[in-house]
């Protein structure tokens, strides 16, 4: 579904990604972790072309993300993305947040989009919030709406960029619960997160990044059982002892 | 395009134009200094705990900011002699040329704009620093003069200078009272020699070069201040 | 102060001085209205251009703003009124078909419109850039095109944020119409000065004009505050990121 082949990226002279290669198969859940500044968020933003890259190739569902002739908006519409800071549109009601792209990008009718939006809001347990505005919701609620907004586009895969790291601790679980459920339904997911509990529960594979490189890319059992690299072991010991 | 442009006219009349530019620069500098001084006093008055004083200053500033500069220029031009007459008890209003009344006009007008800049500057400093100054036993005037104003002034320096560049451009309006500032000089030459296109194009280019260079300097200063902070 | 002067007939003219001032006010507001339309649309386009990732658009936009910001408005009036027709014969040919009032009005609208557009472009740019970067990414991630992202995501918030500075720009525009006096447009300041010169009642004339400008400024403030309240986003604190 998602193939990342030998990606390198520079900000000016500073190299942020170095020869990154990995893939996410259909129905697979892949967790990307690593210390801050390791390039994991940059990598996931390369997958739907939000960040350009200078070398290598990313193929999503047979389409090359970096190629000039690729219709990026069309491709992005098929990949859901959830951001660290939710990025709901503050001037639109919760329902309008869910319907905007359905109407403007997919060309659905307002009724159809609203019905779809309502179904997804019910699913994340926020149906009664539909007429409210993002600023009136808690962080956890906003992030659940953001997930529903991405799902409304019927994506073939979902990207999560640290979806819980801007949340107060007591709100993390309500978001993770939605993600776990999604994973169990067979959604293809690539998740940048520090939540190792989530990784243990639903991930198939774990990618560990450091200094712009993919240091480890292993099945979950192998990663948590016997990480091959010292850096990954060190990272795990720090993050799990909390 | 018409072919009969003659930019030699600029060369011939350059000394005259430079006299005009000198007046423009002189008026700008004096009005900026006077305006910042008076504006700072207005800002202190606006922030004062004496309600009537604060209201009076606010009223003055809002009035000045609501009416066109051109109207203010004409107000002062016609009223200043009358006011001086009544204050001094003279029999006739004194003859003050528009070129001289303009100094008062621009100080009074720009003070309203400088006031708002200094007010923001003082407010950004005042909270913690005034407490600290009071704790050291400094009185209001001492803490203002020694602690708050120097910092406010330094922080606001780029904005004050940007406002001065605007003032430099605004001075051109005095030419409508027949004053020979830079624009006024150009207007007189343009009309006398029927070289309107050349003169006004030249004036525009000169203003652009001066103001653009100054604004770049201000931008650099701003970055340097940002680093120091 | 003698208010009856306003009801006196203008020598060799029709109507009273009051009517003359009101007609001047009409020209002031009409000029400001049409100039605002130009300023708002051109300013928005230039402001947006300066926030895109196309270098040449940013460069052009920056140049546009610098050009209009660094030449005095009065000189810009002279450029539009004398220099442009003098340099470009088609413009001159067109201008000669207009009567003087039309020519002055068109010049004032174009001149003030473009002058103000550069200032609005600056506000629009800073409004867009004050939004979190993720907003743009979120729009793109949903498959919105760049145009749609600006139209539905970035601009609606940016405009809300810049309502206060836009208010001052609107008031500046109304005040700046007085400079059109320099090319002979019979707006409020022109009529005020005319009344002063013909009646020697400068004090009354200037006081009346001052009052009108203050009332305009206060109503513009009120109207913009109303718009600000109407467009306020529930739960969103303006000024906070």
Q: Read off the pLDDT of residues A157-210 as tens digits, 9 standing for 90 and up.
A: 999 999 999 999 999 999 999 999 999 999 999 999 989 989 998 999 999 999
* DSSP conformational letter for B68: -
Which residues of chain B neighbour C181 with C-beta distances below 8 Å? 70, 176
Q: Decide if B4 is inside a domain.
A: no
CA nearest to A197, candidates A217, A159, A169, A228: A169
**Mean per-residue pLDDT of chain A:** 92
Q: How far is CA B21 from CA A153, B7, B104, B105, B172, in A?
A: 64, 19, 19, 19, 10
pLDDT of residue C237: 64
Q: Does A186 touch chain C (CB under 8 A)?
A: no
Calculate what percentage of chain B has a pLDDT beyond 70.
97
Q: Does C63 touch chain B (CB under 8 A)?
A: no
Q: Does C130 touch chain A (CB under 8 A)?
A: no
Q: Read off the pLDDT of residues B70-88 as tens digits, 9 standing for 90 and up.
A: 999 999 998 888 888 888 8
Which residues of chain B neighbour C167 with C-beta distances below 8 Å? none
**Mean pLDDT for the stretch of residues B108-131:** 88
pLDDT at A66 over 90: no
Q: Read off the pLDDT of residues B151-191 as tens digits, 9 standing for 90 and up.
A: 899 989 999 999 999 999 999 999 999 999 999 999 999 88
Lowest mean pLDDT among A7-11, B107-111, B123-127, B215-219: B123-127
ipTM of the complex in this document: 0.91
Q: Which residue has the higher pLDDT, C234 or A21?
A: A21
Q: Read off the pLDDT of residues B40-61 as tens digits, 9 standing for 90 and up.
A: 999 999 998 899 999 999 999 9
* DSSP conformational letter for A107: -
**Mean per-residue pLDDT of chain B:** 89
Q: Does C4 touch chain B (CB under 8 A)?
A: no
Which residues of chain C neighbour A132 with C-beta distances below 8 Å? 234-235
CA B192 vs. chain centroid, Å, equals 30
**Buried/exposed code over C182-196 (b: 16+ C-beta within 10 A; e: otherwise):** bbebbbbbbbbbbbb
pLDDT of residue C241: 35
**Mean pLDDT for the stretch of residues A208-235:** 87
**Cβ-based neighbours of C162, under 8 Å, separated by 6 or more:** C123, C124, C126, C127
Q: Decide if B85 is inside a domain.
A: yes
pLDDT of residue B3: 54
> Residue B28: which domain range?
22-228
Q: Read off the pLDDT of residues C104-163 as tens digits, 9 standing for 90 and up.
A: 999 999 999 999 999 999 999 999 999 999 999 999 999 999 999 999 999 999 999 999
pLDDT at C1 over 70: no
Q: Which of residues 80-109 of A touch C (CB under 8 A)?
A: 80-81, 83-85, 87-91, 100-101, 104-106
Q: Read off the pLDDT of residues C65-108 as tens digits, 9 standing for 90 and up.
A: 999 999 999 999 999 999 999 888 899 889 889 999 999 999 99
pTM: 0.89
Chains B and A touch (3+ CB pairs under 8 A): no
Q: Confirm if B52 and B130 have CB atoms less than 8 A apart.
A: no
Domain borders along chain C are 25-188
Which residues of chain A neighbour C236 with C-beta distances below 8 Å? 90-91, 133-135
Q: What is the CATH number of the domain that holds B106?
A: 1.10.3720.10
CATH match for C25-188 among 2.40.110.10, 1.10.3720.10, 3.40.47.10, 3.40.640.10: 1.10.3720.10
Q: How far is CA C196 from CA A144, C19, C193, C206, in A?
A: 68, 15, 5, 8
Q: Read off the pLDDT of residues C167-225 as tens digits, 9 standing for 90 and up.
A: 999 999 999 999 999 999 999 999 999 998 888 888 889 999 999 999 998 998 888 88
Please give the tally of structural domains in chain B: 1
pLDDT at A149 over 90: yes
Q: How far is C107 from chain A (nearest CA, A)?
A: 38
**Mean pLDDT for the stretch of residues C52-66:** 94
Contact C213 B67 (CB under 8 A): yes
| Three-state secondary-structure class, residue A161 | strand
What pLDDT band is residue C7 in, cutting at 50, 70 and 90? confident
Contact C181 B173 (CB under 8 A): no
CA distance A226 to A230: 10
Closest partner residue to B200 (CB to CB) among C67, C75, C192 is C75
What pLDDT band is residue A242 in, cutting at 50, 70 and 90? low
CA distance B96 to B30: 18
Q: How far is CA B25 from CA B103, B107, B172, C40, in A?
A: 12, 14, 11, 33
pLDDT of residue B1: 43
Q: Read off the pLDDT of residues B76-119 as tens digits, 9 standing for 90 and up.
A: 998 888 888 888 888 888 888 888 889 999 999 999 999 999 99
Which residues of chain A neighbour C132 with C-beta distances below 8 Å? 85, 87
Which residues of chain C neighbour A79 with C-beta distances below 8 Å? 141
User: What is the secondary structure of chain C as a DSSP string?
Assistant: --GGGGGSBPTTSSSBHHHHHHHHHHHHHHHHHHHHHHHHHHHHHHHHHTTSS-HHHHHHHHHHHHHHHSS-HHHHHHIIIIIHHHH-HHHHHHHTTS-HHHHHHHHHHHHHHHHHHHHHHHHHHHHHHTS-HHHHHHHHHTT--HHHIIIIIIHHHHHHHTHHHHHHHHHHHHHHGGGGGGGT---HHHHHHHHHHHHS-HHHHHHHHHHHHHHHHHHHHHHHHHHHHHTPPTT--TT--
Closest partner residue to C234 (CB to CB) among A48, A104, A135 is A135
Q: Decide if B142 is inside a domain.
A: yes
Closest partner residue to B207 (CB to CB) among C72, C86, C89 is C72
What pLDDT band is residue B228 in, cutting at 50, 70 and 90? low
pLDDT of residue C239: 45
Q: Decide if B59 is inside a domain.
A: yes
Q: Which residue has the higher pLDDT, C48 or C225?
A: C48
**Mean pLDDT for the stretch of residues A44-50:** 93
Find the residue in C nearest to B170 (Cα): C72
């Amino acid at each position: 579904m998602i193939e990342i082949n030998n990606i390198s990226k520079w900000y000016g002279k500073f190299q942020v990604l170095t020869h990154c290669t990995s893939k996410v198969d259909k129905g697979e859940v892949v967790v990307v972790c690593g210390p801050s500044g390791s390039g994991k968020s940059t990598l996931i933003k390369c997958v739907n072309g939000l960040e350009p890259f200078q070398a290598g190739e990313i193929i999503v569902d047979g389409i090359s993300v970096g190629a000039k002739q690729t219709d990026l908006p069309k491709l992005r519409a098929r990949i859901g993305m959830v951001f660290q800071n939710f990025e709901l549109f503050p001037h639109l009601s919760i329902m309008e947040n869910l319907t905007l792209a359905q109407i403007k990008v997919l060309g659905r009718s307002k009724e159809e989009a609203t019905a779809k939006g309502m179904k997804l809001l019910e699913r994340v347990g926020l149906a009664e919030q539909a007429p409210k505005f993002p600023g009136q919701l808690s962080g956890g609620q906003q992030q659940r709406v953001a997930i529903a907004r991405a799902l409304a586009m019927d994506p073939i895969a979902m990207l999560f960029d640290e979806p819980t790291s801007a949340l107060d601790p007591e709100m993390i679980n309500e978001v993770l619960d939605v993600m776990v459920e999604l994973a169990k339904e067979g959604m293809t997911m690539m998740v940048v997160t520090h939540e190792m509990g989530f990784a243990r529960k639903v991930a198939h594979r774990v990618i560990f990044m450091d200094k712009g490189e993919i240091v480890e890319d292993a099945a979950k059992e192998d990663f948590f059982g016997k990480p091959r690299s010292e850096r990954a072991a060190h990272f795990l010991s720090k993050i799990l002892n909390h | 395009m018409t072919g009969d442009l003659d930019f030699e006219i600029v060369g011939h009349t350059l000394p005259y134009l430079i006299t005009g530019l000198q007046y423009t620069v002189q008026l700008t500098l004096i009005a900026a200094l006077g305006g910042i001084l008076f504006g700072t006093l207005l800002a202190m008055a606006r922030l004062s705990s004496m309600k009537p004083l604060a209201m009076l200053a606010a009223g003055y500033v809002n009035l000045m900011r609501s009416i066109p500069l051109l109207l203010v220029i004409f107000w002062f031009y016609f009223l200043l002699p009358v006011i001086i007459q009544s204050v001094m008890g003279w029999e006739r209003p004194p003859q003050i040329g528009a070129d001289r009344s303009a100094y008062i006009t621009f100080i009074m007008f720009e003070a309203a704009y400088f006031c708002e800049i200094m007010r923001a500057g003082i407010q950004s400093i005042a909270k913690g620093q005034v407490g600290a100054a009071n704790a050291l036993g400094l009185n209001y005037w001492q803490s203002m003069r020694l602690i708050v104003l120097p910092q406010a002034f330094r922080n606001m320096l780029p904005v004050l200078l940007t406002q001065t560049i605007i003032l430099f451009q605004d001075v051109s309006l005095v030419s409508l009272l027949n004053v020979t500032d830079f624009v006024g000089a150009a207007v007189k030459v343009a009309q006398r020699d029927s070289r309107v296109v050349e003169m006004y194009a030249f004036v525009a280019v000169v203003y652009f070069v001066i103001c653009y260079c100054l604004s770049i300097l201000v931008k650099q200063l701003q970055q340097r201040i940002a680093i120091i902070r | 102060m003698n208010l009856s002067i306003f009801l006196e007939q203008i020598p060799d003219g029709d109507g009273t001085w009051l009517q003359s001032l009101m007609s001047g006010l009409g020209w002031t507001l009409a000029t400001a209205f049409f100039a605002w339309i130009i300023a708002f649309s051109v300013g928005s386009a230039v402001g947006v251009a300066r926030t895109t990732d196309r270098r040449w658009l940013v460069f052009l936009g920056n140049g546009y703003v610098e050009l209009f910001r660094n030449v005095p408005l009065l000189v810009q009036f002279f450029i539009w009124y004398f220099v442009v027709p003098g340099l470009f014969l088609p413009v001159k040919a067109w201008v000669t078909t207009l009567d003087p009032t039309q020519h002055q009005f068109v010049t004032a609208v174009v001149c003030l419109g473009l002058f103000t557009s550069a200032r609005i472009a600056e506000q629009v740019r800073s409004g867009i850039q004050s939004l979190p970067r993720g907003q743009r990414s979120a729009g793109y991630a949903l498959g919105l095109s760049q145009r749609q992202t600006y139209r539905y995501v970035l601009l609606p918030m940016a405009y809300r944020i810049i309502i206060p500075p836009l208010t001052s720009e609107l008031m500046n525009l109304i005040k700046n119409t007085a400079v059109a006096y320099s090319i002979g447009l019979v707006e409020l300041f022109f009529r005020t000065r005319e009344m002063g010169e013909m009646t020697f009642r400068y004090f009354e004339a200037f006081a009346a004009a001052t009052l009108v400008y203050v009332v305009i400024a206060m109503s513009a403030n009120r109207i913009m505050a109303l718009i600000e309240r109407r467009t306020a986003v529930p739960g969103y604190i303006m000024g906070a990121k």
